[in-house]
Amino acid sequence: MNLPEDMDAFVKAKGNVSSHTARILRRQNFAEEWEVARMRAEAGIVTTASEPAESEDATLERWARVAGR
C-alpha cells in the first residue's frame, strides 16, 4: 500500500504497521456500520451494535464474522 509521506511516517512510528493499519480500517468500518445502524433506527428498524459489556475489539470481530470478512 502506498501512503503519503506524513501518513507513512505516522503508521511506522506505531511499530507494527500491519496491525495499526488494520485497526484503523476496522474503526472506519465500524463507523460506517454504525452510521447505517443509525439511519436504520431513524427509519424504525432496530439494530444492536454490541452485546452487554462487549469490548470494542470483540464487537469489531463479531461484526466482521457476521459480514463474512
| Complete DSSP assignment for 24-40 | HHHHHHHHHHHHHHHHH
Task: Identify the pLDDT of residue 40.
Answer: 82
Name the 3-class secondary structure at 19.
helix
Note the pLDDT tens digit of each residue in 21-32: 888 889 999 899
- pTM of the predicted protein model: 0.50
pLDDT band at 6 (very low <50, low <70, confident <90, very high): very high
**Per-residue pLDDT at 50 exceeds 70:** no
Q: Which residues contact 16 (CB under 8 A, 6 or more apart)?
A: none
Name the 3-class secondary structure at 47.
coil
28-54 average pLDDT score: 78
Which triple of cell numbers denotes residue 5? 509521506
